[in-house]
Amino acid sequence: MLDVFTNIRLLDILDICIVAFIIYRIILLIKGTRAVQMLLGLAVILAVYMASRVGDLYTLNWFLSNFLSSIILVIVVIFQNDIRRALMHVGRNPFLGGMNSDEESAVIDELVKACGALGGRKIGALIAIERDNGINDILESGTVIDARVSCELIRATFMPSSPLHDGALVIQQGRLAQAGCFLPLSQGLELTKDLGTRHRAAIGLTELADAVVIVVSEETGKISVAVNGGMTRNLDATSLKKVLRRLLQPRKVKNTKQKQKKG
């Protein structure tokens, strides 16, 4: 051990720090997603493989050896959505197009008011909010709106008489960009049967991108938020506002912490 510490170079320390940072970012990326369960499954298979070698279980060892020999291909197939999301993180776009914190708060307030009003009348809604990664290549294009985010316009879009009420309303760069968009449905078999098409579409988009999707149930009026392939359900206006602030205003939180440290 003394030889190791004696001969270590600054480049070795830098190398270790880079690898540790990459692993840390990967953990943050897959945290709370189905990828964690898949990794645990692969870890179990690896443990069984090691046990088969120690216990001389030749048939099981041969089978798992052939499986693990193609592990790179298996990982690419299983984690293709997570790998895609990770690669898109390389080129980040600022959320809400560089808006200041007051403008971001105003957008969130309008979203909360609109969802609360729609939920109170049991009018279904699906609102996708783009964050760091672009989602144009995932969406089936709808009708271009390019308007300021307002409670009245959101409510009007999802009225049953509106021709755009069936699709998703998409917010990009802090503006209402498109309406009537169709999102990819989640194929997750573990989803509960009480989730409708809107909820599955919300989860489906967040499995492919880091977007945040708000769902208002037409049957119950309950509000849900999907992110990273998961969903938080049964939110009221207060809890929805807290969730959106946490997910959509990371810069404001960061700046506040920096000011507290300086103070």
Q: What is the CATH number of the domain that holds 196?
A: 3.40.1700.10
173 pLDDT band, cuts 50/70/90, is confident
Which amino acid is present at 108? I
Q: What is the mean pLDDT of residues 63-78?
A: 79
Gap between the Cα atoms of 183 and 126, Å rounded: 10
Phi, psi of 85 (to 5 degrees): -65, -35
User: Same domain for 71 and 179?
Assistant: no
What share of the chain in percent tops pLDDT 90? 22
pLDDT of residue 120: 92
User: Same domain for 230 and 106?
Assistant: yes
User: Same domain for 80 and 116?
Assistant: no
Query: Which has the higher per-residue pLDDT, 98 or 185?
Result: 185
pLDDT of residue 262: 44
188 pLDDT band, cuts 50/70/90, is low
Gap between the Cα atoms of 194 and 82, Å rounded: 26
pTM, to two decimals: 0.61
Is residue 4 a part of any domain in this protein?
A: no
Is residue 261 a part of any domain in this protein?
A: no
Domain that holds residue 31: 9-88
Gap between the Cα atoms of 74 and 27, Å rounded: 19
SS (H, E, C) 15-62: HHHHHHHHHHHHHHHHCCCHHHHHHHHHHHHHHHHHHHHHCCCHHHHH
Is residue 74 a part of any domain in this protein?
A: yes
Please enumerate, as own/partner, the contacts of 247-251 that have beta carbons within 8 Å and a separation of 24 or more.
247/131, 247/212, 248/95, 248/96, 248/104, 248/108, 248/129, 248/131, 248/212, 249/101, 249/104, 249/105, 249/108, 250/95, 251/95, 251/101
C-beta of residue 236 within 8 angstroms of C-beta of residue 223: yes
User: Same domain for 113 and 71?
Assistant: no
User: Same domain for 18 and 140?
Assistant: no
Residue 88 CB partners (closer than 8 Å, separation 6+) = 132, 133, 134, 209, 210
C-beta of residue 174 within 8 angstroms of C-beta of residue 196: no
Is residue 152 a part of any domain in this protein?
A: yes
User: Same domain for 237 and 174?
Assistant: yes
The average confidence (pLDDT) of the chain is 79
Query: Which has the higher per-residue pLDDT, 67 or 238?
Result: 238
256 pLDDT band, cuts 50/70/90, is very low
